[in-house]
């Protein structure tokens, strides 16, 4: 991996310990503290039919939501699926599209970097970019490949293949 791009996520044991609390908070009046950065995916396993409630960080693109993950549960979203999410304390239906191609993931990450900056990338997506560096799309694609990153886009059910990231620059910030 390039020395300018790193993934920064909490240890899996900590995530496993905190997820039950986050699940409760997202369903309760406490959800307001998490609404800008967390939502819960309600995923059904393709082979087992088992139901999973997965808290995830996201970025709001205006016309949809974007999630970056390296976890294996994402396989259940291959080919695009309609699923429920919990956000703002309410459950609603959305369409999820999974993109696992490192080149495309790198391009989306490059667009996001322009849009939310390196601070936003670290906070929202757990992707750390060395200060002052400007990684190329090829470096971002290499990092996506090495870190096994995938992009999930959520859009309103029936809205198509998910949002496209604009290249407009904003000063927003967020995993």
State both tokens at 161: 């293949």
The HSE-up count of residue 168 (CA atoms within 13 Å, CB side) is 6
CATH code reported for the domain at 5-156: 2.30.110.10
Quote the mean pLDDT of the chain.
85
**pTM of the predicted protein model:** 0.83
Those residues with Cβ within 8 angstroms of residue 48's Cβ, 6 or more apart along the chain or in another chain:
none
Max Cα distance, the chain (Å): 46
- Residue 171 confidence (pLDDT): 34
Backbone angles phi, psi at 171, to 5 degrees: -100, 25
Say how far apart CA 38 and CA 31 lie, in whole Å.
Answer: 9
Those residues with Cβ within 8 angstroms of residue 91's Cβ, 6 or more apart along the chain or in another chain:
42, 84, 85
**In the chain, pLDDT over 70 holds for what percent of residues?**
88
Domain locations along the chain: 5-156
Interior CA angle at 126 toward 98 and 31, to 5°?
A: 80
Say how far apart CA 36 and CA 120 lie, in whole Å.
Answer: 12
| Average pLDDT of span 148-162 | 80
| Average pLDDT of span 119-142 | 86
Window from 17-21, 54-58, 128-132 with minimum mean pLDDT: 128-132
| Average pLDDT of span 79-84 | 96
SS3 89: coil
- For residues 134 and 3, the model is more confident at 134
Q: Is the pLDDT of residue 6 over 50?
A: yes
Strands 51-57, 38-44: pairing is antiparallel
Those residues with Cβ within 8 angstroms of residue 42's Cβ, 6 or more apart along the chain or in another chain:
51, 52, 53, 54, 83, 84, 85, 86, 91
Q: How many helices (H) and strands (E) does the chain have?
A: 3, 9
């Amino acid at each position: 991996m390039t020395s300018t791009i790193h993934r920064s996520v909490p240890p899996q044991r900590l995530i496993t310990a905190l997820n039950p609390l986050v699940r409760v908070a997202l369903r309760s009046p406490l959800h307001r503290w998490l609404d800008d950065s967390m939502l819960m995916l309600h995923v059904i396993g393709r082979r087992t039919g088992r139901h999973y409630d997965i808290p995830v960080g996201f970025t709001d693109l205006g016309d949809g939501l974007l999630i970056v993950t390296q976890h294996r549960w994402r396989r259940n979203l291959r080919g695009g699926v309609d699923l429920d999410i919990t956000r703002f304390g309410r459950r609603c239906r959305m369409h999820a599209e999974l993109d696992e191609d490192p080149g495309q993931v790198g391009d989306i990450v490059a667009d996001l970097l322009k849009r939310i900056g390196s601070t936003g990338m670290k906070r929202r997506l757990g992707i750390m970019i060395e200060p002052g560096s400007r990684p190329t799309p090829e470096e971002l694609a290499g990092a996506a490949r090495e870190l096994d990153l995938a992009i999930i886009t959520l859009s309103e059910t029936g809205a198509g293949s998910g949002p496209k990231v604009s290249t407009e620059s904003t000063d927003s910030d967020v995993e």
